[in-house]
Structure 1
Amino acid sequence: MTDAREYLINERVREILNWVIASFTVTGRPVGSRAVARHSREQLSPATVRNIMADLEEMGYLQQPHASAGRVPTDKAYRFYVDYLLERKDLSLQDQAIVERDLRLDDNAEHLMVRASQVLSRVSKNVGIVVSPPISRVALEHIHFTKLADKRILVILVSRSGIVQNRIIHCTEEIGQNELDQAARYITDHFKDRTLSEIRSRILKMIQHERAIYDTFMQQVITLSTKAFSETGGVPDAEVYLDGASNLINTPEFSDISRMKLLFETIEQKSRLADLLSRCIEGDTQEVRITIGAENALPGIEDCTLITSRYAVDGKTHGSLGILGPTRMEYARAISLVDYVARMFGRVLETGTKS
C-alpha cells in the first residue's frame, strides 16, 4: 500500500471517494462498487472500483457497516472532502431571499437572534445556533436601577445593539430610588459606548482613588458600578438561541434512541455549546469553520458536524452562529448558508447600532 497522501493525489481515487460521499449524502445508504462503476467517467470495471474502495477502507476513509453491504464515508473522508474536494459556491438566490426576509432590522436584538437561529434551521434542515456576544464585549447604551426589597437592586443593562441583560445585586445599605436614578444617569453619561470590560477597568481606577473621595454620591456610583459590572452577576455571560432540534429526530443517524437521548442532553447544555462555538471561531477571520465527528469536543455530538462563523459589528467579533447536523450533510450549501447569514446578521446589527 502506498502512502495515503500519495494515493489520494490520483484523480481516479478522488473521483471515486467524491462520488461515494455524494451518493451517500443523498440516499443515506451504503454505496456499492457497481453503482460507482456505472457513474465513473473512465468507465471503470466494478472489480477496479472494488479494489480502490478496499484500499480507501484500509486507509480509514471508508467503512463497511455490514459484510454484505456497500461502503460509507468516515469522518476522515468528510475531512478530506471538505479540505480538498469540495467546490465552494454562493448561496442560491432563493435561499438568500429567505435569509434577507427573515433578518429584517428589529429594535430588539434578541428577536433578531431568535430569527437568525430559525432561518439557519429552516434552510439547512438541521439545528440552528446563535450565540450572543459575551456581555463583557458589548457597548453600553444605558443602565437602569430599580429598588427592590431587602437591599436588593434590579440592574437592567442595555447594549448599543439592543441586547438587554438583567441581574440582581445586593448592597450593604439602603439606597433610595432617587439616588439610584441619579447614579444611573451618571454611569450612562460617563460610560456610554464603552464595552463592559472597559468600564470595569475604569471602575478599578476609581476604586484606587476611593479613599480620596468623600462625596457620598460618588461612593454610591462606585459601589453600584462595581456590582453591576462584575463578571459574576449570576447570569450567563452569553445567551444561546437554538432552533430545529426536532429536525434530527427523523434522520437515520439518530434512529437509535440512546444516541438521540445523548444528543438532546448535549444540546440542552447551552453553556457548553456556547463554549464550543467560541473555540471554533477563535481569531478575527470571517472564515467559516467546520468540525467533523470526533473533532467536536462534546460527548453526544461525535456523529455530528458543526459549521460555525463569527458575526462582526464594526469589524469586531460580536458573537458566533452556526448549524449542527449529521456528518452526512450537503456541505457546500451548509457552508455558504452559515457564511451568508453571519455576514447579513452582522450588517443588520451594525445598522441597528447606528440608527
Structure 2
Amino acid sequence: MANERRMLVLRAVIEDYIRTQEPVGSGALTRGHKLGVSSATVRNDMAALEDEGYLVQPHTSAGRIPTEKGYRYFVDKLATVVPLSKAQKRGIRTFLSGSVNLDDTLRRSARLLAQITGQVAVVASPSLARSALRHIEMVPVSSATVLVVVITDTGRVEQRTIVTAARPSEDILNQLGSRINAACQGESLRRAADGIRLFSQDEPDAPMRSFLEAVARVLDELATQEQTSNLYMAGTSQLAHRSVSDMASLASLFDALEEQAVLMRLMTALTEVSQLHGVGIAIGSETHTPGLMHASVITSGYGQSTAGASKTTGDASSDSTTVEPVAFVGSIGPTHMDYASTIPAVRAVAKYLTEFMLNEEGEDETDDDTD
C-alpha cells in the first residue's frame, strides 16, 4: 500500500512539474491533490522516491523534480491521455483536406502537429523501400531515350530515363507497360524488378532483353532508397519561445535536429518497436543521441505498406502478411512535455495521414474520442 501511494505521489509530482516547470514541494502536493495523507507523509514518500531514483532535489530546501526514470514510469503507467476536442479533430481533417498533393499534405501535417503540441513536429515522406508498385509507364522522349514513370501505392512518383541504342516503339512500350502492371501491381519494387527479369528470360530479342534489364535496374535503384525519405519539420521557433529558460538544452536539441539521418534512424526504430498507446516513446538517454539527452521523442507510423504482400494462391499462409507503416510522424520536445496531450495528437495526425494514403472516404470518425 505504501508503495502504491508513493507511485501516486510520483504521478502528482510529474503532473505538477509538467504544468509549472518548477520544483514541487510536499505542501503543494497536499493542497493540490487528494492523496489522503499528511504533508509529512508525502514528504517521506518523496524522499523515498528520491532514494529510488525517480525524483531529484535540484537545490537544498527546494522541491523535487522528476528524473528520466520517473518520466519513464509515468509514461509506462499512463492510463489516461487527453483526447483531442471535436473541434481539433475537425480542424485536422479540414486542414489536411486542402492539400494539393502528398508533399503538401506532409508539410501541412508537420505545421499542424507543431501548432497543437507547441513542440517540434517531424513527418517523414514514405520510404520507397516500403512502397509497392501501383503503376509503371514508359514514354519515348527521343530516338534513344525512354522516360520510365513509377507510381507507388504510397503516392510517390519517380521518373528515370533509360538510354538505349535500340529503343522499342511506342506501341511495344505500351504493351510492356500493360504486361508489367498486370503482373506486378501491388508487389514491392524489388519483387517487381525480379518479375521483369523473368519476362526478359522469355524474350528472344537481345536488345529487348537488355531494355527490360534496364527497367528492372530502375526499380532496384528505387528500392534501395530507404534513407532518402524527405523530412518535413516545423515548430522550432515555437519551442524556443516557450523554453527560453533552458537555452543550453535547446541549443543541443537544435543541433540534433540538424542531423536528419540520425533523426530518421531513431524515429524509424521507435516506430518499429513494440509501441505504447499506439506510439513509440524515447526519453533522454533512451534516444542514444547526445543532443536529445534532455528531450523526449514520441512517434507513430502512418500508412499501410502492401509491399511484399503475397497474392492469393490458395495457401492459407499467404493471408498472414504483416501490415507495416510506410513512414512516421513524431513530436520532439523537452522531457517535461505534456505526454498525455502529445500522445493523442501524434496518433491523430498519423491516423489522418493513413486515411489520406489509403484514399478512403470511409465513415467520419472525427468524433471518436479514442484518438
Asked if TM exceeds 0.5, the reply is: yes
Q: Distance in 2 between matches of 1:127 and 1:24?
A: 20
The aligned residue for residue 50 of structure 2 is 57
Take 2:266 and 2:301, find their aligned partners in 1: how far apart are those partners? 13
Residues 39-48 or 104-113, more deviating: 39-48
User: After the TM superposition, which residues 138-157 of structure 1 pair with which residues of structure 2 at under 5 Å, given as runs?
Assistant: 138-143=131-136, 156-157=149-150
Pair 37,72 (structure 1): closer, same or farther in 2 beyond 3 Å: same
Equivalent residue in structure 1 for 2:332, among 319, 324, 348:
324
1:279 maps onto 2:272 in alignment: no
How many angstroms does 1:290 deviate by?
A: 1.7
Q: Aligned partners of 1:325, 1:242: CA distance in 2, in Å? A: 13
Partners of 2:218 and 2:35 lie apart in 1 by 71
RMSD: 3.4
* Maintained 8 Å contact 1:147/1:153: yes
Aligned to 2:251: 261
Find the aligned partners of 2:263 and 2:73 in 1 and give their Cα distance.
25
Q: Secondary structure at the match of 2:23?
A: coil
Tell whether the 8 Å contact from 2:302 to 2:351 is kept in structure 1 after alignment. yes
Q: Which residue does 1:227 correspond to in 2?
A: 218
Hey, what does 1:247 align to over in structure 2?
A: 238
Matching residue of 1:92? 85
Maintained 8 Å contact 1:110/1:163: no
Contact 2:119 2:333 in 1 (8 A): yes
**1-structure distance, mates of 2:278, 2:83:** 14
Equivalent AA in structure 2 for residue 261 of structure 1: A
Determine helix, strand or coil for the equivalent of 1:317.
coil
Secondary structure of residue in 2 paired with 1:60: coil
> How far is the alpha carbon of 1:300 from its aligned partner?
0.8
**Cα 1:276–1:201, aligned 2, differ >3 Å: closer, same or farther?**
farther
| 1:66 alignment partner AA | H
Quick one: structure 1 residues 253 and 157, their matched pair in 2 at CA, closer, same or farther if it must change by over 3 Å? farther
* Aligned counterparts of 1:187 and 1:34: Cα–Cα separation in 2: 72
Contact 1:169 1:228 in 2 (8 A): no
Structure 2: distance between partners of 1:195 and 1:48:
61
Structure 1 pair 235/349, CA: closer, same or farther in 2 (3 Å)? closer
**Residue 196 of structure 2 contacts residue 212 of structure 2 at CA under 8 Å; is this kept in 1?**
no
Deviations 1:42-61 (A, max 9, x none): 56443332222111111111
Report SS of the residue matched to 1:250: helix
* Counterparts in 2 of 1:152 and 1:253: CA distance versus 1, 3 Å: farther
Give the equivalent residue in structure 2 for 1:3. none
AA of the residue aligned to 2:12? W
2:348 counterpart residue number: 340
Q: Could you tell me how far apart the structure 1 residues matched to 2:72 and 2:182 are?
A: 51
Q: Does residue 1:132 correspond to 2:122, yes or no?
A: no
Question: 2-side partners of 1:102 and 1:157: how far apart?
Answer: 28
Distance 1:118 1:153, change over 3 A: farther
User: Is residue 2:152 matched to residue 1:159?
Assistant: yes
What number of residue pairs does the alignment pair up? 341
What code does the residue aligned with 2:337 have? M
Code of the residue aligned with 1:264 in structure 2: it is F
Query: Any idea what the Cα deviations from partners look like across 1:195-219, whole Å, max 9, x if unmatched?
Result: 2132133245456x38x64242342
- What TM-score, normalized by structure 2, do the two folds share? 0.78
Q: 1:192 to 1:35 in 2, by over 3 A?
A: same
**In 2, Cα distance between the equivalents of 1:40 and 1:283?**
35
Q: CA shift at 1:278, angstroms? A: 1.5
Structure 2 distance, partners of 1:105, 1:235, is: 29
Cα pair 2:129 2:225 within 8 Å, conserved: no
SS for the counterpart of 2:272 is coil
Q: Which runs of 5+ in 2 are unaligned?
A: 307-322, 363-371
Same amino acid, percent of matched pairs? 27
1:71 aligns with 64
Asked if structure 1 preserves the Cα contact closer than 8 Å seen for 2:55 and 2:66, the reply is: yes
8 Å CA contact 2:295, 2:333 repeated in 1: yes
User: For residue 288 of structure 2, what is the aligned residue in structure 1?
Assistant: 297
Give the TM-score normalised by the residue count of structure 1.
0.81
Deviation at 1:17, TM superposition (A): 1.2
When structure 1 is superposed on structure 2, of 193-202 and 36-45 the one drifting more is 36-45
1:332 positional shift: 1.4
What is the rounded CA distance, in whole Å, between the counterparts of 1:24 and 1:122 in structure 2? 22
**Displacement of 1:135 after TM fit?**
0.1
Indicate the larger mover: 323-332 or 276-285.
276-285
Q: Deviations over 1:212-255 (max 9, x none)?
A: 64242342122133134325877944222221122221344873
**For the residues of structure 2 that align with 1:61 and 1:194, how far apart are their CA atoms?**
49
Q: 1:333 is aligned with what amino acid? A: S
The alignment partner of 2:326 has SS state of strand
| One-letter amino acid of the counterpart of residue 330, structure 1 | D
Does structure 1 conserve the Cα–Cα contact (< 8 Å) formed by 2:271 and 2:328?
yes
